[in-house]
Amino acid sequence: MMLPRGLVVSCQARADNPLHGPQFMGAMALAARDGGAVAIRANGPADIAAVGAAGLPVIGIHKIFSERYPVYITPDFAAAAAVVDAGAGIVALDCTERPRDGEHPGVLIRRIHEELGAQVFADISTREEGLKAAAWGADYVATTLSGYTEATLPKPDAPHLELVEALAARLTIPVIAEGRYNSPDLVRQAFSAGAHAVVVGTMITNPREITRAFVATGVPQ
Ligand SMILES: CC(=O)N[C@H](C=O)[C@@H](O)[C@H](O)[C@H](O)COP(=O)(O)O
């Protein structure tokens, strides 16, 4: 099944976040669904299983942080298998060619298709990485890592709309805008740039960051 066009809501909360845990992420997914989201992005088997209750397509990731390698979004085949076991039909993974303690992303894409029967959502940071991921057979290419890799640091405040436009002009597979789409207007601009879908995380599902953004506007303290 093809990911529908529309808004994807990323429901993630790290361990230091008061909303960490499948109960909260499951509720976030239900709220996102009721608000009109077409799919949910979630991290780790427990949260992936919980967001499944919303009945929407799930883009699953498994973040594993290592001191030796920069790649942490679904870095190897075992992580991808855990994502699919938990119920995700689409596996998102880091498709940059940065060092990792696992197989090359081109091999992972093939194995996820053949051995897990799942679709692959390629998280990339540059135009070249996106074109390569598509050539390796990814089903979707997403700008998730723009601003987070050595090649794209320092992270700008704005999302990388030009990257969406450049990829959409060259690829036939769907291009997904993800990363710092912090307002409805930016989401609209992403669709105008050729995005098939837009993933929004922080500004919908992270009340701590949303509160900080309001406080940072200069409210009296
Ligand atoms: C770089 C990285 O690890 N991004 C992660 C990927 O799953 C998430 O932490 C982001 O929240 C997600 O991409 C959505 O972006 P934003 O929260 O900016 O709307």
pLDDT at 16: 97
What percent helix, strand, coil does the chain show, rounded to 5?
Answer: 40, 15, 45
Residue whose Cα lies nearest atom 10 of ligand 1: it is 201
Could you give the domains of the chain?
A: 6-215 (3.20.20.70)
ipTM of the complex: 0.99
pLDDT band at 220 (very low <50, low <70, confident <90, very high): confident
Q: Is the minimum distance from the CB of 202 to ligand 1 under 6 angstroms?
A: yes
Q: For ligand 1, pick from 7, 9, 12 the residue to mutate: most ligand atoms within 8 Å of CB.
A: 12
With a 6 Å cutoff on the Cβ, whether 145 touches ligand 1 is: yes
- Ligand 1 binding pocket includes 9 (Cβ within 6 Å): no
Instruction: Let me know: does 131 contact 164? Beta carbons within 8 Å.
Output: no
Residues 42-71: pLDDT tens digits? Answer: 999 999 999 999 999 999 999 999 999 999
61 Cα nearest atom in ligand 1: 7
Q: Ligand 1 atom closest to Cα of 181?
A: 19
- The mean predicted confidence, pLDDT, of the chain is 97
pTM: 0.98
For residue 168, the one-letter residue type is A
**Are the C-beta atoms of residues 4 and 39 closer than 8 Å to each other?**
yes
